[in-house]
C-alpha cells in the first residue's frame, strides 16, 4: 500500500505494518469523532510515526498513485474533522 504524507512524500507499507496502520487509523478516527484534541494529536502522530518507521520511503522522483493520503503533521483537529468526517448533508 502506498501512503502519502502531505508535504513529506510517499511510503510503501506491506504485511504486518498494514494491519498496524489499520488499527492505528481506527483509533485516530475515534479521537477525531470524539473531538478530543489531546488524544487526536497523540493518535495522529502515532499514525505518522508508524508510516515513517515501518514504511519504505519512496524517492521523490518515483511518483505513484497513493492508496491513502494523510494530511501534514501540523494538521489541527478542526482540519482533520473536515477531512475525515463528512457531514450528513454532503
Q: What is the pTM of this model?
A: 0.87
Q: Which residue do the cell numbers 488499527 mark?
A: 23
Tally Cβ neighbours within 10 Å of residue 30. 13
Element (H, E) at 37: helix 37-54
- Chunked into runs of 10 residues, the chain (90 residues) has average pLDDT values of 95 96 93 92 96 95 90 93 62
Amino acid at each position: 500500500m502506498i501512503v502519502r504524507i502531505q508535504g513529506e512524500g510517499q511510503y510503501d507499507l506491506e504485511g504486518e505494518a498494514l494491519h498496524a496502520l489499520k488499527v492505528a487509523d481506527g483509533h485516530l478516527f475515534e479521537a477525531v469523532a470524539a473531538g478530543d484534541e489531546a488524544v487526536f494529536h497523540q493518535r495522529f502522530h502515532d499514525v505518522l510515526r508508524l508510516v515513517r518507521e515501518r514504511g519504505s520511503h519512496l524517492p521523490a522522483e518515483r511518483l505513484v498513485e497513493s492508496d491513502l493520503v494523510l494530511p501534514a503533521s501540523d494538521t489541527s483537529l478542526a482540519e482533520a474533522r473536515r477531512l475525515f468526517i463528512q457531514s450528513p448533508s454532503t
